[in-house]
């Protein structure tokens, strides 16, 4: 199973999701990566607030670097998981015809993870709460 977590910039929500999912699938045959639909931050490490907030819960994001979603991702990953509804719509638009990847919202309750980029530290914490919840549901699904 190969899972790609996708947000807009790939410096806040999807790197946090990558770190959380990777920690929770330890020992399972699951590949985890993340990418953004936008190119502004390609090559950058995650936002320092995301790094800090994740580190406080035991997830190390410092080594991650942002990249953009590529056409080949739609064949290279089994599940591509969108952080919010805009990311989901963009992924459906970017998906090459006939590409096998399953595209879905990351959070199982149809909730978008609100973009914390222009907000404060508590918004990163709230995003991480939702990401941990969604990751627990994903891992239960993968183990079933
Ligand atoms: P992310 O947050 O999609 O959770 O990584 C954002 C980061 C940067 C920008 C937007 C959202 N930006 O416009 O630069």
Atom 3 (ligand 1) nearest CA: 8
Read off the tokens for 8. Answer: 């807009």
Find the residues whose C-beta lies inside 6 A of ligand 1.
7-13, 40-41, 115, 117
Among 7, 43, 90, 134, which is best to mutate for testing ligand 1, by the most ligand atoms less than 8 A from CB?
Answer: 7
Question: What secondary structure does DSSP assign to 47-108, as a single string?
Answer: PHHHHHHHHTTT---TT----B--TTHHHH-SEEEESSHHHHHHHHHHSPTT---EEEESST
C-alpha 66 chain-centroid distance: 11
Cα 111 to ligand 1 centre (Å): 18
Mean pLDDT split into 10-residue runs, the chain, 144 residues: 98 98 96 98 98 98 98 98 98 97 96 96 97 97 90
* Number of neighbouring beta carbons within 10 Å of residue 60: 12
Q: How far is the CA of 67 from the centre of ligand 1 (A)?
A: 12
Q: What global pTM score does this model have? A: 0.97
Helices 121-143, 48-55: crossing angle, 10 deg rounding: 60
Is there a catalytic annotation at residue 115? Answer: yes
- 12 CA from centroid of ligand 1 (Å): 6
**Tokens read off for 112:** 């978008």
Nearest CA to ligand 1 atom 7: 9
């Amino acid at each position: 199973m190969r899972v790609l977590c996708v947000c807009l910039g790939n410096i806040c929500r999807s790197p946090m999701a990558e770190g959380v999912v990777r920690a929770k699938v330890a020992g399972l045959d699951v590949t985890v990566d993340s990418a953004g639909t936008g190119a502004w931050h390609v090559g950058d490490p995650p936002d320092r607030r995301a790094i800090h907030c994740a580190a406080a819960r035991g997830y190390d994001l410092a080594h991650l670097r942002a990249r953009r979603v590529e056409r080949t991702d739609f064949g290279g990953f089994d599940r591509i998981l969108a952080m919010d509804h805009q990311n989901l719509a963009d992924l459906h638009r970017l998906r090459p015809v006939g590409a096998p990847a399953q595209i879905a919202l990351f959070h199982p309750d149809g909730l978008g993870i609100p973009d914390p980029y222009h907000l404060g530290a508590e918004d990163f914490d709230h995003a991480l709460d939702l990401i941990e919840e969604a990751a627990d549901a994903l891992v239960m699904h993968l183990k079933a």
